[in-house]
Structure 1
Amino acid sequence: MVLSSRTVHIVSVHSAGEIGDVIVGGVLDDELRQLLLNEPRGRPSCNVNLVLPPCDPRADAGFLLMESEEYAPMSGSNTICTTTALLETGMIKTQEPFTTLKLDTAAGLNVAFDNVPAFVFHLDLEVEVPGLGKILCDIAWGGMMYAIVDMAQTDLTMNPNDGQKIGEYGERIKRAVQATVHPVHPENLGINGVTNFIFTAPLEDGPGGKKAQNAVVVSPGRLDRTPCGTGTCARMAQLYARKQMAEGESFQHTSIIETEYTGTIVGVTKVGNYEAVLPRVKGSAWITSFRLVVLDPTDPFPEGFRVGDAWHPRSTPKNLVQ
């Protein structure tokens, strides 16, 4: 019997269909993201959250968000997944009738399910996209940087069966945006550049307030299964900037698979010179399993691998090509 060189304890969680696993033990080094998110232990549609002691003394816990292509400064679905894991495993005591957590993230302190202030950098930014022509984009911050595009500018529809084409278009437009503009957060220069993308459907009036469907494209070109927490915040900032949503209003945001988050503008503020909204996002998450991830010392893939049928070839790091 060969002993493992390391083990990682994970609580598997999903929120609205998006996997947001939570690491609760076995942390040693910064190779963790590649080990857990590359094949054979991960896949493009996975996220992993690392629970850490908070840097901010006001927080109950800190967590680091790991996606396939980056360490995200903030994620709403991963916040919901991490909160669920912390409470349901007893790491943080549940209080009735409401439990309020303060979570420390790279984007700043999150209090309960309130996100960092969200704001718009650009409205109607025109970009030239190869094969698609001129596309108008709105650029907004909601905990991550987003390019937001009305899907009606393309030949796409909100059909999950067309997910591959939606992902391809989204990545193509996002690369054109990246070549055109490079926004920098006015209070954190380390947060810069557009890394995420949202296709939007028309805004409707529903019984609970405004409602719209979206498709969020996450690198390397796959669809977020959730309505996306930070994307919902960026969308509310966009709607506020366009005077289509007001302070105190709620917004039902549905995903490509019609799961739902509820967003509310609970206040307004300024971030640097930008008018910003204070967004609150409500959603649920469910624990699906408890996993013990193992790395055998003889395993030929200690940092995993990527194959172009699931990972876009342009995103495959040279050191992972076998």
Structure 2
Amino acid sequence: MTRLSYIDYHTCGEPVRIVTSGYPALTGAGILDKRRQAREQHDHLRRAMMLEPRGHDGMYGVIPIAASHPDAAFGVLFTHNEGYSTMCGHATIALGRYAIEQGLVKASEPVTRFAIEAPCGLVRLACEVKGSQGNWKVGNVSFESVPAFVEARDLVVLVPGYGDVVTDIAYGGAYYCILPASRFGLDLMQTPVEKIVAAAGALTDQVRASRRITHPTEPDLGFLYGTIVTDQAGPGEDSFNLCVFAERQIDRSPTGSGVTARMALDHAKELIPAGQGRRIRSITGGTFIGKVIGPVDFPAAGAVTVEVGGRGHLSGEGSFVIEADDPLGHGFALPKRFAEIVG
């Protein structure tokens, strides 16, 4: 019998399930080595935590690990319904609260600063803190991104059912296609969400199949994570977006790495100057505030760092049991048809 303990948070409604005990120690030299080890040797535990019957198709999680970067308080692996992402802003915001409440970092008023090591690199957090030892209250959490940059501008992609679709691709710890819903002939505010997800997923599939993405420094980071569909709001206005990532998973939050990528893209287009904040809202109405900090020395043209802020909330804690003789103990995704369970 296997037992896994966890603490659940959410950020703007997007879940963050943090494993607190029961997960094997990872022995890789660096964080990307540990990510590969988790994927190759312990993926059944990710499935058990993320998928049904303990999770659901929209679940998201964190595996805290020992950091290999000397400036990091700890390292993290991010998990979802399909695998392991390279960066997650909504989880990072929740981790700010988790780290202080669980005593992983030394807290002090009014702002506690520390860094975590994500697969994409070092991410620096600033957490608003009130209270005293053993009774800290964490408010807004912001993080400074890894170098963010534009991968492609005005890329024309032939998408079945939608024709030629023009999209940009930007990196904010993960790579995203970013485009307004109107490029699909849709309206973000009026079109049923399932149709937006279908369009975004179709674009992601086509770009993955037709374009090779190579990260400037780390081969493991070179893949398209998803598509962010936006409204038509101008750069000085609040904007809504829907992020469809991994295998058509819907982010309930505005998507921290996605907001990072959007800000880098808008800055490259000279729509938003450094230092100007912008509110990005999600399908739950949740809000992140993004702001370009400034240029950074990095082997990608026009790379910048971006600050993204929001707030996480505690939603539960407990432990899961995996019985050795349970045929569904390590999780399942609901099949589309009965034929998939035969043979």
Contact map agreement 2:99 2:105 (CA 8 A) in 1: yes
Q: Output the TM-score relative to the length of structure 2.
A: 0.85
Cα distance in 2 for partners of 1:12, 1:159 equals 30
1:24 has 2:20 as partner: yes
| Post-superposition offset of 1:220 | 2.1
How many residues align? The count is 308
Cα distance in 2 for partners of 1:13, 1:321 equals 37
Match of 1:178 in 2: 208
| Post-superposition offset of 1:182 | 1.6
Cα distance in 1 for partners of 2:316, 2:229 equals 32
Cα distance in 1 for partners of 2:310, 2:47 equals 28
Alignment of 1:257-296 (within 5 A): 257-296=284-323
Match of 2:220 in 1: 190
Q: Which amino acid aligns with 1:305?
A: F
Alignment of 1:179-258 (within 5 A): 179-204=209-234, 209-258=236-285
| Post-superposition offset of 1:161 | 7.7
Alignment of 1:1-322 (within 5 A): 5-28=1-24, 30=42, 31-112=44-125, 113-159=143-189, 162-204=192-234, 209-308=236-335
- Could you say what secondary structure the match of 1:77 adopts? helix
Q: Which amino acid aligns with 1:283?
A: G
Q: 1:79 to 1:160 in 2, by over 3 A?
A: farther
Cα distance in 2 for partners of 1:159, 1:20 equals 26
| Post-superposition offset of 1:159 | 4.1
Q: Which amino acid aligns with 2:21?
A: G
Cα distance in 1 for partners of 2:183, 2:224 equals 20
| Post-superposition offset of 1:210 | 4.3
Name the stretch that deviates more: 154-163 or 288-297.
Answer: 154-163
Cα distance in 1 for partners of 2:57, 2:14 equals 11
Contact map agreement 1:121 1:140 (CA 8 A) in 2: yes
Contact map agreement 2:62 2:76 (CA 8 A) in 1: yes
Q: Which amino acid aligns with 1:199?
A: V
Cα distance in 2 for partners of 1:26, 1:283 equals 30
| Post-superposition offset of 1:32 | 1.6
Cα distance in 2 for partners of 1:186, 1:77 equals 25
Unaligned stretches of 5+ residues in structure 1 = none
| Post-superposition offset of 1:270 | 4.1
Cα distance in 2 for partners of 1:216, 1:56 equals 30
Q: 1:321 to 1:24 in 2, by over 3 A?
A: farther
User: Pairwise CA RMSD of aligned residues?
Assistant: 2.0
Q: 1:160 to 1:304 in 2, by over 3 A?
A: farther
Cα distance in 2 for partners of 1:234, 1:79 equals 16
Unaligned stretches of 5+ residues in structure 2 = 25-40, 126-142
Cα distance in 1 for partners of 2:103, 2:297 equals 37
Q: Which amino acid aligns with 1:75?
A: C
Question: Which of structure 1's runs of 4+ aligned residues deviate more than 3 A?
Answer: none
Contact map agreement 1:253 1:260 (CA 8 A) in 2: yes
Q: 1:321 to 1:121 in 2, by over 3 A?
A: farther
Cα distance in 1 for partners of 2:69, 2:99 equals 18
Q: Which amino acid aligns with 2:274?
A: E
Deviation per residue, 1:121-178 (Å, 9 max, x gap) = 1100000000100000101110111011211122323348822211111101111111
Q: Percent identity?
A: 28
